[in-house]
A and B are shown apart, each in its own frame.
Chain A
Amino acid sequence: MSYLPYAVAAWICVVGLFGVATSRNLIHLAICLTVTQSSSYVLLLSVGYVKHGGAPIFKGTKPGSTAVDPVVQALTLTDVVVSVAVVALILALALDAHRLAGTIDPDGLADVQG
């Protein structure tokens, strides 16, 4: 059981990549990419977990009580922001693709000549 969160992260990553590779819709592809990226949140947060540790927020608890690693939580925050930025750009590209090619199926786009 002690490796279960890591296995969950691996599963989310692989499932997301499968979705990206087999996607027939660029918007679906963007969502699959966020699924893949979510695996890094799970991995980061589980790496920083301390057994029986609370949140690293010491309002109402004794300073010095056991808490999980705040560094990986801050990194996860960065990760989420990057994810939002990437999804926004992919959606904009999907709109552009739709305007230029009339389709958002990546396979259909392969036939479009520049």
Chain B
Amino acid sequence: MSRRVRIAVLVPALAGLGALFAWAVAGLPAFGDYRGPYGYVLNRIVVPLRHTTNVVMGTTFDVRGVDTMGEEFILYAAVVGVTLLLRDEVSTRRVERHTRRLRSDATRLVGVLMVGGGLLVGLWLAAFGYVTPGGGFQGGVVLAGALLLLYVVGSHRDYRVFRDEHFLDPLEGLGAGGYVMVGLAALASGTPFLTNLFGLGTTGTLASGGSIAVLNWASALAVTVAMLLLFAEFLKTYETPLEQDDPGS
């Protein structure tokens, strides 16, 4: 199909889709006219029942904790998929491409400061996820981003440990498996899967939420390491086989 024909078919189709979309949302209550009931119910019960002041995370890791476990394994499946797609069938000996270091000292200084700042923000987002805005997923992504910045401003040598599968794989297993273990611990104690086990603690402090805190950290670990594994797989494609290597590098 030529490009012109494709656009000629596409534009009416998209116009039709837009019209259907408009028709669908015309039946929704107006913006801001929320009728509930789930949002109202959760906003009323999560704080007294779970002691987590961030109701979104209370919902994510408790009310719909099983869904979040599935969500974690979606990410896990993506990492496995990318690894399988990018894996070379013939294992050629590979060598790092000669990476240019950043020339400007000022850029590197700002970058290094951002690594530290990013790690702090990531840890804060993850740690206080169930108290203030944040959470394990969000904190995990920021942590992984801060570590990747180390690759950008430093060298592949500084970053080596964060792309080492022997180091990352067990951590990913601990994160994803830890979530399931918390669920199974509830089963073992004779309650339904993922029942909130540990003491609920004091509302509005780090020691609150019971299982939510543990699940939050398991997710933070799983997300950080999943991102690092994805980066590692993509970075591998920048390596060139030894025999095709330029003589200079």
Contact = CB atoms under 8 A, between A and B. Distances in A.
B215 interface: no
Interface residues of A, number: 56
Given A47-B28, A49-B32, A57 B53 contact: yes
Interface string B218-239: 0000000000001001100100
A74 B43 contact: no
A92 B82 contact: yes
Nearest to A55: B133
15 contacts: A1-B31, A9-B25, A14-B21, A47-B34, A51-B33, A56-B43, A57-B132, A68-B34, A69-B38, A70-B39, A70-B55, A71-B38, A77-B137, A86-B78, A91-B234
B17 interface: yes
Interface of A, secondary structure class, is helix
B135 interface: yes
Given A3-B26, A9-B21, A69-B42, 4 more contacts: A10-B21, A57-B133, A69-B39, A71-B38
Contact of B56 (A1, A4, A46, A57): A57
Contacts of A64: 43-44
Contact of A95 (B10, B59, B68, B86): B86
Contacts of B43: 56, 58, 64, 67, 70
Contacts of A53: 34
Contacts of B237: 95
A100 to B, nearest CB: 11
Contacts of A5: 31
A81 to B, nearest CB: 5
Contacts of A86: 78
Contacts of A84: 75, 78
Q: Which of A4, A13, A56, A73 has the most CB of B within 10 A?
A: A56
A50 B133 CA distance: 18
B74 to A, nearest CB: 5
Contact of A70 (B21, B30, B59): B59
Interface in B1-24: 3, 6-7, 10, 14, 17-18, 21-22
A41 interface: no
B115 to A, nearest CB: 21
B70 to A, nearest CB: 9
A4 B60 CA distance: 28
Contacts of B48: 63
B55 A6 contact: no
